[in-house]
């Protein structure tokens, strides 16, 4: 008999029956364990949830899949974000406004994802990685979705540079630097990130506006 595919994390909201209940039980335990500050093995999640290992591994075949599901659970409203404004800066502000409270609420889960990504990157470089590599990368698509109207104003190279710069302040990294090194509060992290967002976009737009004059001076 052909096995039914395991739905994605988000699709479980529409699922009913024992499979969906088992998934939600495992996910609730995984979210709880990660909130305590570490990345559990799939077998540990199964044990704490009172589910067999074999069953748990049908849902999450590796820590990578488990952490991916944890992030999807935590950041679903962020990843389904649809811009409402036609202005690029306004759309980016919308995105930050929507996501930073979520980042703060699920900071331990995002730190766990960063920890696993760094661990896997190091092991992969040395040829010692023995499990499926955990990859991040949703922020690129989210930032592009929000900032897209700015591309025509900036041109492709400057637009890509802006997205790369924004990716440094949109995610868990500002929390690690500002809270761990500077002792900042979650609210201060949000405020500084929004300030950096405005500064980056303003600088990019001003440079784009002055670019024609600079090119004329260079030719002259």
Domain edges within the chain: 11-61, 79-219
pLDDT digits (tens, 9 = 90+) for 42-77: 999 999 999 999 999 999 999 999 999 999 999 999
pLDDT band at 5 (very low <50, low <70, confident <90, very high): very low
> What pLDDT score does 211 carry?
73
Burial of 115 from C-beta contacts in 10 A (0-12 / 13-18 / 19+) = middle
What per-residue confidence (pLDDT) applies to 13?
Answer: 52
CA distance 171 to 68: 15
């Amino acid at each position: 008999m052909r096995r039914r595919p395991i739905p994605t994390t988000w699709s479980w909201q529409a699922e009913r029956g024992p499979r969906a209940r088992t998934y939600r039980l495992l996910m609730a335990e995984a979210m709880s364990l990660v909130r305590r500050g570490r990345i559990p093995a799939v077998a540990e999640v199964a044990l704490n949830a009172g589910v067999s290992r074999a069953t748990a591994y049908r849902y999450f075949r590796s820590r990578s899949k488990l952490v991916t599901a944890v992030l999807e659970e935590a950041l679903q409203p962020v990843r389904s974000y649809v811009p409402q404004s036609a202005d690029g800066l306004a759309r980016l502000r919308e995105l930050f406004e929507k996501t930073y409270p979520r980042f703060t609420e699920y900071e331990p889960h995002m730190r766990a994802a960063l920890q696993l990504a760094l661990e896997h990157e190091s092991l992969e470089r040395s040829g010692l990685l023995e499990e499926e590599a955990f990859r991040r990368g949703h922020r690129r698509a989210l930032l592009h979705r929000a900032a897209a109207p700015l591309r025509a104003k900036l041109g492709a190279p400057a637009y890509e540079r802006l997205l790369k710069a924004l990716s440094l302040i949109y995610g868990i990294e500002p929390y690690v630097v500002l809270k761990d090194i500077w002792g900042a509060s979650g609210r201060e992290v949000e405020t500084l990130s929004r300030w950096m967002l405005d500064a980056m976009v303003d600088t990019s737009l001003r440079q784009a506006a002055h670019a024609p004059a600079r090119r004329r001076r260079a030719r002259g």
